[in-house]
């Protein structure tokens, strides 16, 4: 079922921390298209300047290179702050776990301090990872989660949990108007080729005719949301009035096994790639599917892009961005 999304009123000046990343850059595009002035802040650890390069000459767009682990200073008024600043794929967030944890914790503190100083609304990008390897299915916001706090995913899971704590502590103190989005697996154009996540890996591998890497036996599940739907959900949450008093799940509740996803990617790309099975990473969640009842009820939001349509756009992106084939050696 498709629910029409009512466009929110337009804010005037927004800061998007992590704005050169996959999600952040699509959010910058959407805000600018709606007439909002956008300050995009990124440390470029995983963000990519190419994602926002087409915006460079837009009169409403400013790019600031800064790291949210340090206090953030922005001149002039702000009425919205989106905190999307953190590596989000397991490969990247585990590469420097302390950096990840500090980005989550100090980033939330510094940006909330800025929100307090400017009187801006604040949205924290949290994650389905706060549910860990869930024992409740599908996952509703009321589920308290099943996270291994000493495992390799903990730097991200616990970092995001701490960021949520900080948000609601400051909200209870009346210091900030906060909203927390628990974002489930999201895919689309501008995912990094080396992101390491399942959709980008499968598409890049299929287009190159390489084996499709499947962890474990491929029966684990995920639910995949197209980036444009997710960005609309973030904006709907930001503009909701009054703010929901709990975090809100944003994602697509259609659930697929990894094997089923690999089959769809193989069919859509016309690839003859075989499957290559690899060990399941430590603490890899067995099942994941959002309960989006709250988002439907409080925001009037639900995703509308079917998986195959979203994958087609993603495949097109990687086809166009494909590295040029190596010239054949002349015998
Ligand atoms: N996965 C896989 N092959 C890959 C990359 C990931 O089978 O090349 C699996 C991974 O182990 C997990 C699922 O796909 O079970 C989703 O992984 P991803 O890294 O995209 O996101 P996660 O939901 O685990 O954060």
Over residues 91-134, the pLDDT tens digits come to: 999 999 999 999 999 999 999 999 999 999 999 999 999 999 99
CB 238 within 8 A of CB 175: no
Within 13 Å of residue 212, how many CA atoms lie on the same side as its CB?
26
Residue nearest to atom 12 of ligand 1 (CA): 284
What's the CA gap between 300 and 5, in Å, rounded?
6
Task: Give 301 Cα–ligand 1 centroid separation in angstroms.
Answer: 26
Q: Give Cβ neighbours of residue 31 (< 8 Å, ≥ 6 apart).
A: 11, 14, 16, 38, 235
Element containing residue 33 per DSSP (H, E): helix 22-33
Ligand 1, atom nearest to 218 Cα: 7
Instruction: Please work out whether the CB of residue 223 comes within 6 Å of at least one atom of ligand 1.
Output: no
DSSP β-ladder status, 212-215 and 248-250: unpaired
Output the six-digit token pair for 207.
């287009």
Q: Cβ(85) to ligand 1 under 6 A?
A: no
**Ligand 1 pocket check for 134: Cβ under 6 Å:** no
- Res 11: pLDDT: 72
**pLDDT number for residue 9:** 57
| Contact between 178 and 124 (Cβ < 8 Å) | yes
**Cβ(94) to ligand 1 under 6 A?**
no
Q: How far is the CA of 258 from the centre of ligand 1 (A)?
A: 8
Nearest atom in ligand 1 to the alpha carbon of residue 215 is: 7
Distance 36 CA to ligand 1 centre (A): 35
**What is the Cα–Cα distance from 49 to 217, expressed in whole angstroms?**
37
In angstroms, the CA 304 to CA 317 distance is 20
Phi and psi at 290, nearest 5°, equal: -80, 140
pTM over 0.75: yes
Residue among 82, 93, 131, 156 flagged as catalytic: 156
Q: What spacing in Å lies between the alpha carbon of 197 and ligand 1's midpoint?
A: 5
- Contacts of residue 53, defined as CB under 8 A and 6 or more positions apart, other chains included, come to none
CB-ligand 1 contact for 213 (6 Å cutoff): yes
Ligand 1 contact, 287 CB (< 6 A):
no
**Cα radius of gyration (the chain):** 19
Cβ of 258 below 6 Å from ligand 1: yes
Question: What is the helix (H) or strand (E) element at residue 179, kind and residue range?
Answer: strand 177-183
Please tell me the predicted confidence (pLDDT) of residue 323.
Answer: 63
pLDDT value, residue 221: 98
Alpha-carbon dihedral 303, 309, 310, 311, rounded to 10 degrees = 140
215: number of CA atoms within 13 Å, CB side?
15
Please identify every stretch of the chain with a pLDDT value under 50, giving residue numbers as ranges: 1-8, 327, 331
The dihedral through the CA atoms of 72, 73, 75, 79 has a sign that is: positive
Half-sphere exposure at residue 218, Cβ-oriented, CA atoms within 13 angstroms: 15
Residue 156 known to be catalytic = yes
In the prediction, which pLDDT does 325 show? 53
Rounded CA separation 36/29 (Å):
10
**Candidate from 258, 264, 278 with most ligand 1 atoms within 8 A of CB, to mutate:** 258
């Amino acid at each position: 079922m498709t629910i029409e999304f009512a466009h929110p009123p337009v804010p005037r000046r927004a800061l998007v921390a992590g704005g050169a990343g996959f999600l952040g850059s699509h959010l910058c595009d959407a805000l600018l298209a709606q007439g909002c002035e956008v300050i995009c802040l990124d440390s470029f650890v995983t963000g990519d300047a190419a994602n926002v390069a087409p915006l460079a000459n837009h009169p409403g767009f400013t790019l600031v290179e800064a790291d949210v682990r340090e206090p953030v200073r922005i001149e002039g008024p702000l009425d919205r702050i989106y905190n999307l600043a953190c590596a989000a794929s397991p490969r990247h967030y585990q590469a420097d776990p302390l950096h990840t944890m500090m980005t989550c914790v100090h980033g939330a503190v510094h940006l909330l301090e800025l929100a307090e100083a400017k009187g801006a609304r604040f949205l924290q990008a949290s994650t389905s990872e706060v549910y860990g390897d869930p024992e409740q299915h599908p996952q509703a916001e009321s589920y308290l989660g099943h996270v291994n706090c000493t495992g390799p995913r903990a730097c991200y899971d616990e970092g995001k949990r701490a960021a949520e704590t900080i948000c609601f502590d400051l909200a209870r103190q009346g210091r900030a108007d906060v909203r927390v989005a628990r974002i489930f697996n999201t895919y689309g154009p501008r995912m990094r080729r080396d992101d390491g996540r399942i959709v980008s890996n499968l598409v890049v591998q299929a287009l190159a005719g390489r084996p499709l890497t499947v962890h474990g036996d491929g029966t684990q599940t995920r639910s995949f949301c197209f980036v444009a739907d997710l960005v609309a959900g973030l904006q709907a949450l930001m503009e909701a009035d009054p703010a929901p008093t709990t975090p809100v799940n944003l994602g697509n509740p259609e659930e697929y096994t990894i094997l089923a996803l690999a089959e769809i990617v193989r069919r859509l790309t016309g690839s003859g790639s075989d499957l290559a099975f690899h060990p399941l990473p430590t603490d890899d969640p067995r099942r994941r599917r959002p309960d989006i009842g709250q988002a439907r009820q409080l925001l009037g939001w639900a995703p509308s892009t079917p998986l195959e349509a979203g994958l087609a756009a993603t495949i097109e992106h990687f086809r166009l961005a494909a590295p040029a084939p190596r010239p054949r050696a002349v015998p």
